[in-house]
Every structure is written in C-alpha cells, then in structure tokens.
Structure 1
Amino acid sequence: MIEFELNGEYIPLIQLLKATNLVQTGGEAQIVVSEGEVSYNGQIDTRKRLKVRKGDVIEFRGQQVRVI
C-alpha cells in the first residue's frame, strides 16, 4: 500500500494518480478514470475531478493508495 501525505484539504483524483506515479500523464489518468479502472473507497468512480481527502483509499491495477 502506498501512503500519500496530503498537505491541503483535498487533491483531485487525476493529480493523485500522477503524484503516486500510477500513471505517467494527466491524459492517461483521465482515460483510466473514465473507463472505470479506479476504485474510490471500494466503489468504482468515474468522476475526473473527484476530490480525494484524508482517510480515502484509492485502488488502481492492484495498487492501493491511502491518503493520510
């Protein structure tokens, strides 16, 4: 599991995927989110501008990211 330390109130899901190196580009992040490959707190979520906050867990291709 990857732990990502959040410095602000939230981070957009696409930026989180890039910041944790799960995708290479913002364009790739938008595609995988819109195609339903990303799980947010156990549910598939296709919102590209989803605000991820402390305590949230993201899953993508077998990797988990917990926001702390």
Structure 2
Amino acid sequence: MQEGLGRDRFAGDVFVFRGRGGSLIKVLWHDGIGSSLYAKRLDHSRFVWPMTVDGVAALAAAQMSYLLEGCC
C-alpha cells in the first residue's frame, strides 16, 4: 500500500477501494492495534464514487458516512 499509493497505512488514514462494477467497496484501516477490513456489497445499485486525483480522494466525515451507507 505504501509503495502503490504513497501513503502510510499506519498513519490513521482509511483506505476505500471500489470494485469495477461499482457495487462493492472494501475499507481498510489500522486502529493502532491491528488492521481491519470492512466489505459492503449493494444488491440493486452502485456506490457513488467521488472524483479522484491520481487515484486518491479526500472525504469529509459526512461523505464517508454516506458512502458506507450505500447512498446513491
């Protein structure tokens, strides 16, 4: 991750990856004790994906909440 995205996965950042079809996201973060992986799939819609610069988007807390709820 550090080599591919140029970010330190232990720095408290949350990494969100979307599947090609747009119906699956995976969230990866390190809470200081260990790494956690969260996956969510939508059955009848797709996740709205923010604009990215070089594959990276910074999200506000409200945007992250909407993304995890699967709002479209």
Task: State the TM-score, normalizing by the size of structure 1.
Answer: 0.29
Task: State the TM-score, normalizing by the size of structure 2.
Answer: 0.28
Max Rg structure: 2
The structure that is strand-richer by fraction is 1
The structure that is helix-richer by fraction is 1
